[in-house]
Amino acid sequence: MTTTTLNPAVGRSALPFIDRQHPERPLEVNFYRPARHQPNDPVIVVQHGMLRNGDDYRDFWIDAAEKHNLLIVAPTFPDEPFPKAEGYNNGLVVSAEGQIVPRDQWLYAVPERVLAALRAGGVIDSPVIRIFGHSAGGQFVHRMLATEGGALYAAAMASNPGWYTLPTLERRFPEGLGGLDLDRDALARWFAYPMIIFAGDRDIITDDPNLPAQPEALAQGPHRYGRAYFMLEFAQAEAARLGVACNWKLMTVAGVGHDGAAMSRAAAAYWFEGRIPPVEELKPLDAIVA
């Protein structure tokens, strides 16, 4: 099989990407590449929300990219070939018939293969790579860490997910990790990874039509902010029961609701400036950006 290569232009660009495991499902990767970016300069992988708007999420990071010399890589999963939550957030793990599909078909390894194509294209070598996902992308990121591990990423943020896959083998995926042929060691590895749950404290709307409302999600809390606390508390209790460390952290972004732009700015400032700016600096949008 021919090695896939990616070599984005300086500035904004979008390139087609055919994943070898899903050749019938074309993706697009949205990039921002500063003119001075070199192969070992930092990389941010950005996972978009349910609107499948990788171009917007790339753009949310452009100011930080120029300021801190970051390559922004936003794999974009169009709705038609990757429909609904099952086709993106839930990683194509469960078939339409309710069966767990073979592991090599899960979507959670796609970002790694995009990065491999960038290496093959000479764009990156061995940079520090971080991954950020908001809303549906936050669901994607934490499920990716649970199933693929985080060895590739120096840091990972799951920002404002609608609900969570709980770190337990006792509940079937996507509510838990049951049925995926994972074991206690896989749970321990997930607990050991310093995952950041990034939560806007105004993400408390309960009647958002895009807020997951199945019984398993409602059991985690009435809104996204509450569900973030439920996830952390569940994880800490489960890790203690197993006798392993839980290195997760919940970080609150004050004054921000379900706003992908503001949460992206907050993440960039935290990672590269060691701070979370006040809401006035983050300038959250009036409209919800999912």
* Cβ neighbours for 62, distance < 8 A, ≥ 6 positions apart: 12, 32, 72
Place 286 in a pLDDT band, splitting at 50, 70 and 90. very low
Place 287 in a pLDDT band, splitting at 50, 70 and 90. very low
**Model pLDDT for residues 52-68, shown as the tens digit of each residue:** 999 999 999 999 999 99
Q: Are 101 and 93 in contact (CB under 8 A)?
A: yes
* Domain 11-282, CATH homologous superfamily name and number: Alpha/Beta hydrolase fold, catalytic domain (3.40.50.1820)
Checking if the pLDDT of 288 tops 50, the result is no
Q: pTM for this one?
A: 0.96
User: What does the pLDDT read at residue 167?
Assistant: 98
**Model pLDDT for residues 126-181, shown as the tens digit of each residue:** 999 999 999 999 999 999 999 999 999 999 999 999 999 999 999 999 999 999 99
Q: Are 196 and 132 in contact (CB under 8 A)?
A: no
Place 1 in a pLDDT band, splitting at 50, 70 and 90. very low
Q: Are 223 and 203 in contact (CB under 8 A)?
A: yes
Region 238-265 average pLDDT: 97
Checking if the pLDDT of 257 tops 80, the result is yes
Domain residue ranges of the chain, discontinuous segments joined by +: 11-282
User: What does the pLDDT read at residue 3?
Assistant: 73
Region 83-90 average pLDDT: 97
The residue among 26, 30, 20, 13 whose CA lies nearest residue 80 is 26
* Pairwise CA distance, residues 12 & 33, whole Å: 7
Output the six-digit token pair for 174. 């996507």
**Model pLDDT for residues 5-20, shown as the tens digit of each residue:** 999 999 999 999 999 9
User: What does the pLDDT read at residue 2?
Assistant: 56
Q: How far is CA 260 from CA 41, 94, 111, 137, 250, in A?
A: 24, 27, 19, 10, 17
User: What does the pLDDT read at residue 290?
Assistant: 53
User: What does the pLDDT read at residue 284?
Assistant: 46
* Cβ neighbours for 6, distance < 8 A, ≥ 6 positions apart: 15, 17, 29, 114, 117, 118, 120, 121, 123
What DSSP string describes 40-96? TS-EEEEE--TT--HHHHHHHTHHHHHHHT-EEEEEE--TTTS-TGGGTTTTT-B-T
